[in-house]
Structure 1
Amino acid sequence: MMMCKEATRLMSLRQDRPLTFQERLSLRLHLSMCSACRECDRQFTLLHEAGRRYHPEHDDAEQGDDGH
């Protein structure tokens, strides 16, 4: 059985590259039994989506041309 530390490593890794079949299967099995890791996975997904939608050029326009 996979430990939570390995599960969170795979959740993070999944944001950067596709997991192998074995990694996906192991993570899916762990998530089916661990509510804490399911919540962690939900938060990883939320943070990744927020980062993907962030556009720093909007901050520059709000601060003015001199950065203040």
Structure 2
Amino acid sequence: MKTTLSCRDVTRLVLEGEDRHLRLSERLGVRVHMLICKTCPEFARQVQFMRRAVGRWKQYGDDGGDGSDGGAPPR
């Protein structure tokens, strides 16, 4: 692996980290890059925010969060 990662590499790894466990060398490379870059940490925060939002949206749908009380017509 290269000694320093580009922003493009870090973006790819942040997204891949959502789907798989990154190798130690990949995680270390991302961490080092995050220390010296201003925009990549913001991107990682946005990805984390989207992951939480999607999780909440899924829970909302699973709970029947349509405002109804289990199929009875609204009053």
Shorter-chain TM-score above 0.5: yes
CA displacement, residues 5-28 of structure 1 (integer Å, 9 cap, x when unaligned): 110011111111111101101100
Q: 5+ residue gaps in structure 1?
A: none
Map 1:1-68 → 2, pairs under 5 A = 1-55=4-58, 56=61, 57-58=64-65, 61-62=66-67
Q: C-alpha deviations, 1:23-50, integer Å up to 9, x for none?
A: 1011001111101001101101111111
- What is the TM-score of this pair, normalised by structure 2? 0.72
Which sections of structure 2, spanning at least 5 residues, go unmatched?
none
Q: How many residues align?
A: 62
* Structure with max Cα Rg: 2
Percent pairwise identity: 31
**What's the TM-score, normalizing by structure 1?**
0.79
More helix by percentage = 1
Please provide the CA RMSD for this pair: 1.7
